[in-house]
Each structure stands twice: as structure tokens, then as C-alpha cells.
Amino acid sequence: MPAPNFSPAADRNKQPILDVLLKVLPAQGTALEIASGTGQHVAWFATGLPQWTWQPTDFMPTALDSIAAWVAEQGLTNVRPALVLDVMAAEWLPGDAKFDLVYCANMLHISPWATCAALMSGSARHLAADGVLVTYGPYLEDAVPTSEGNVAFDQSLRAQDPAWGIRRREDVEQQAARAGLRLRARHAMPANNLLLVWGKA
């Protein structure tokens, strides 16, 4: 099996995110991860939340080997084989699978704005009645001054691709509301990031 890919940012933020998940999630459940990337997050969370069953996914088929490698390295039995999933697709998964958690980190600012509406509507379809969507990453907020670091990051993202950029939390809330989701909790995180918890309205 190829060696897993490594993201320094994912390594830095995995424990702060897990600390919040341990507070907001029940002891057991099923989780769908959108944009799993290297697989570091799902491997860490599956270790820290062993009573949860995890379904990692990614848009890029090339990511699946790295996810599998991290899972194998940790010897995890509560992570299902990773799947290719495009949030823009009309159907995410076969059938009507329901999850207690949909988790998506660091996707909205490195993909076109349309993916936000798709993430919200797809999550609403696949969340159990009491399930939550958790999004993590940088956001702009009307009532909160933007850090110099996030201003520079936003500029660098837009220079790479005009369709990218840090999203206004208020705009994301509007897209969530259209899908029948509302913001339940806002957690300030290290490095000017936010962890947002969404549930069915």
C-alpha cells in the first residue's frame, strides 16, 4: 500500500476539532465525511470516537489510497472504505442513507460558491432527524474584524482561482436556511478558524 499523504494543517487542527466533537456529539453514531483529503482527520476522529462508524469520501479518486493508508496504519475497524463523492451530484450515495453527523472541513473556500448550496442540500437529505452538519475552516463575519492572516489568505486563494475565497458566514447561513438547516453553535478555533454546527430547523 502506498504511503499516506500528509497535511501539516490537518495535523495541527485535528485535536482541537476532536475536542469540540467530543463535546457536541453523542457517544455513538454514524458519520459521513465530505472532502476527506489525506485521511488524517477521519483516522484521528475514528480513534478518538471509537463507537462511531465513519464513511470517508473525496471528490478526487487519487485521495482514496491515502485515506486507506491512514486507516490501515491506525488499524481501525470503524472506518468504511472511502468512496468518491461529488457534492454537486444529484445523488451522493445509493439509497437513502442517513447519518448522525456530516463533517466537512476546509472545502468551501477552495471550491466554487455553488458547492455551499450543494453541501447544505445534500447534508439535509442525508442527516438523521437529530443529526448535525459540522463545517470547519476560515470564515468572514460581519460583526468580527477579519484577521490580517485571513485577509492575505483570501487574496491568495482568489489569485489562484477567482471562484475560490473565504466565505461570509452569513452567506453560508442563508444557503443553509434554504436547505432547512440552521446554525446551532459557533466555536472559535485556533488560527482564525471556526467550527460551525448545523441542524435541521
Beta bridge partners of 52: 29
Q: Structure pTM?
A: 0.98
Q: Are 104 and 81 in contact (CB under 8 A)?
A: no
- Mean pLDDT score, 7-31: 98
pLDDT in tens, 154-185: 999 999 999 999 999 999 999 999 999 999 99
- Reference 137, options 171, 158, 166, 162; nearest CA is 166
Q: List, in order of start, the domains of the chain with CATH numbers.
A: 8-105+115-137+172-200 (3.40.50.150)
- Mean pLDDT score, 68-74: 97
Question: Can you state the angle between helices 63-74 and 40-48, rounded to 10 degrees?
Answer: 30
What letter would DSSP give residue 182?
A: E
Is pLDDT at 95 greater than 90 in this prediction? no
Written as one letter, the residue type at 103 is: Y
Q: Report the alpha-carbon distance of residue 176 to residue 194 in Å, rounded.
A: 16
Secondary structure string (H, E, C) spanning 7-58:
CHHHHHHHHHHHHHHHHHCCCCEEEEEECCCCCHHHHHHHHHCCCEEEEEEE
